[in-house]
Amino acid sequence: MKTILITGCSSGFGLEIARHFLERDWNVIATMRTPRADLLPPSPRLRVLPLDVTDAGSIAQLMADAGPIDVLVNNAGIGALGALEGIGIATVREVFETNVFGTIAMTQAVLPQFRLRRAGVVINVTSSVTLKPLPLLSVYTGSKAAVNAFTESLALELAAFDVRAHLVLPGRAPSTSFGANAKERLQMHEAYAELTENVFAGWAQSTEAVTQAGDVAEAVWRAATEPDAPMRLAAGADAVALAK
């Protein structure tokens, strides 16, 4: 029976990915900054373990507790919304610490066992904003584009060891906590107030297709289980349309 370890399972895509694999008889290690046993259906195949991807000690403890794993999903991520002039460099660092350095550190933590076993899959969740740029998301988009480039280069060096790396690019998913969390990091700059209002009004009125958490879980499933899955998997009708 295979084991998947997923980061950021307290809500949204991570929680749904954990559910999806549990329902398909995988062992699931659902990691959360603040572990909660009540979010997922009880199962002897489920372990909920603590992980903050920005904390090297937390990663080392997790790897010591987790045992062998077959698939790593780097899903934990945060957004930052607003015009660049209004975003402090501390927020920029926070976004890159989680989205980029957290992903790289977790990947480094699993690679020795994948390489020695000559098997394993790394799946990094980025975003369709890297396919079509949107205003007010420059820092977030930069972080996700960095993970795209990182993963595509890494896949080439891992192929010699039969280890795979893939990208899942979800579209806009208003149903998760992501938007509200990103808005908490919204730093308004007066000069961009009108632009910001217009962009928000556009999103609020949009009737375009959006992404559901289930779309992301399905794309992660394909990356994990199909040996010839494409390098990039768009997830959600909006992301699929952009990727064409």
Which listed range, 7-15, 62-70, 112-120, 223-231, lies at the site for ligand NAP (CB under 6 A)?
7-15
22 and 28 in contact (C-beta within 8 Å)? yes
Which listed range, 20-28, 50-58, 110-118, 194-202, lies at the site for ligand NAP (CB under 6 A)?
50-58
Size of the site for ligand NAP (CB under 6 A): 29
DSSP code of 236?
S
CB-nearer residue toward ligand NAP: 119 or 134: 134
32 and 7 in contact (C-beta within 8 Å)? no
Return d(Cα 197, Cα 219) in angstroms, integer: 33
Instruction: Name which of 218, 232, 191 is nearest 17 in CA terms.
Output: 218
130 and 139 in contact (C-beta within 8 Å)? no
Supply angle C-alpha 140, 141, 146, rounded to 5.
Answer: 100
170 binds ligand NAP (CB under 6 A): yes
Q: Is 140 a catalytic residue?
A: yes
173 binds ligand NAP (CB under 6 A): yes
Enumerate residues 131-160 that contact ligand NAP by CB under 6 A.
none
- For residue 179 the two structure tokens come to 């938007």
181 binds ligand NAP (CB under 6 A): yes
CB-nearer residue toward ligand NAP: 3 or 10: 10
Interface pick for ligand NAP out of 12, 82, 86, 120 (rule CB under 6 A): 12
Measuring CA to CA, how many Å separate 65 from each of 6, 30, 61, 97, 234? 14, 13, 6, 23, 32
- Given 140, 150, 178, 221, which residue is catalytic? 140
33 binds ligand NAP (CB under 6 A): yes
Catalytic positions are 140
Q: Which residues bind ligand NAP (CB under 6 A)?
A: 7-14, 33-34, 51-54, 75-78, 98, 102, 125, 127, 170, 172-173, 176-178, 181
